[in-house]
Amino acid sequence: MINRGTFNLLGIQIAAVDYEGALAEIMSAAHARRTLGVSAMAVHGVMTGCLDRTHRYRLNQLEMIVPDGQPVRWGLNLLYGVKLQDRVYGPTLMLLTCQRAAAEGVPIFLFGGQRDLLERLRSRLVSLYPNLQIAGMCPSKFRKLEPHEKQEMVHEIVTSGAGITFVGLGCPRQEVWAFEFRQQLSMPVLAVGAAFNFHAGLLSQAPSGLQALGLEWLFRLVKEPRRLWKRYLLLNPLYLAMLFLQWTRIRRYSPSDTTVPTSEILYG
């Protein structure tokens, strides 16, 4: 098990952990009913915080950001020599967490996407882990919430008896959601990106060989070029350039160089 603490990558505090290290934190918080905001972050997620001081504040308030993308892992290894052998891929972390939750009797809650997606996801998870307790599900409203709707959602999740909440809203909405909801939920809140769509069978994952080479982005770009071309063709080179500047110490990126949000966004 590896948990070497957090390290500054372009101003974002990333945890140098492996799967077992992340799972230990998640399950400990679940049993203790302790707040734990978790995001599995690839290059796109890091860059959303790097380029936006307010969002950087939100991300750095989350208790654990794990290196979802290979380039994020490589960045930590390059800058700090943490010698991480593997990334902590959000979809895999979700399945491992569900497996551990089933074994330890911790119910989960699923939030995000449409109702049919959640139904397919629930069916798949229960088929994989028959003892898994899914305490509740709530589809996204695909709009900003009113304050009273937030309180209703918090009440629904808390009274469901869930000990872990998974959020699948896409980056950066899911990280904003985790930041704004995690304190009132008092449980691990995991923002897991496209994991809902992957595990529901609605989206194909890149072959393992491409994933190992850090080319999952290319596979997804081919699948969804219109939606993703700006994300990958602009942000990926910018990430490499900024990483080079941090590595050579030409530029320093401070995690404290942030702007505190003046109000909640309340995605739902």
Of the pLDDT bands very low, low, confident and very high (cuts 50, 70, 90), residue 142 is confident
Q: DSSP state, 56?
A: H
Mean pLDDT of 92-100: 98
Q: Average per-residue pLDDT in the chain?
A: 92
CA distances from 201 to 56, 120, 122, 165 (A): 32, 8, 11, 20
The answer to the question of residue 262 being in a domain is no
The answer to the question of residue 51 being in a domain is yes
Q: What is the reported pLDDT for 225? A: 75
Residue 101 pLDDT > 90: yes
Mean pLDDT of 167-173: 93
Please write the tens of the pLDDT for every residue from 155-164. 999 999 999 9
Q: Please indicate whether residue 218 or residue 2 has the higher confidence score (pLDDT).
A: 2
Whether 266 and 144 have beta carbons less than 8 Å apart is answered as yes
**202: exposed, middle or buried (C-beta count within 10 Å: 0-12, 13-18, 19+)?**
middle
Please write the tens of the pLDDT for every residue from 180-238. 999 999 999 999 978 999 998 877 676 777 677 767 766 776 667 777 767 777 888 99
Of the pLDDT bands very low, low, confident and very high (cuts 50, 70, 90), residue 267 is confident
Whether 162 and 137 have beta carbons less than 8 Å apart is answered as no
The answer to the question of residue 187 being in a domain is yes
**What does the alpha-carbon distance between residue 263 and residue 42 come to, in Å, rounded to a whole number?**
26
Q: Please indicate whether residue 143 or residue 67 has the higher confidence score (pLDDT).
A: 67
The answer to the question of residue 122 being in a domain is yes
Please write the tens of the pLDDT for every residue from 10-56. 999 999 999 999 999 999 999 999 999 999 999 999 999 999 999 99
**What does the alpha-carbon distance between residue 242 and residue 10 come to, in Å, rounded to a whole number?**
7
The answer to the question of residue 175 being in a domain is yes
74: containing domain: 3-199
Number of domains in the chain: 1
Please write the tens of the pLDDT for every residue from 146-157. 888 899 999 999
The answer to the question of residue 247 being in a domain is no
**What does the alpha-carbon distance between residue 255 and residue 135 come to, in Å, rounded to a whole number?**
36
Q: With pLDDT > 70 as the criterion, what percentage of the chain qualifies?
A: 95
The answer to the question of residue 193 being in a domain is yes
The answer to the question of residue 160 being in a domain is yes
Residue 72 pLDDT > 70: yes
Q: What is the reported pLDDT for 125? A: 97
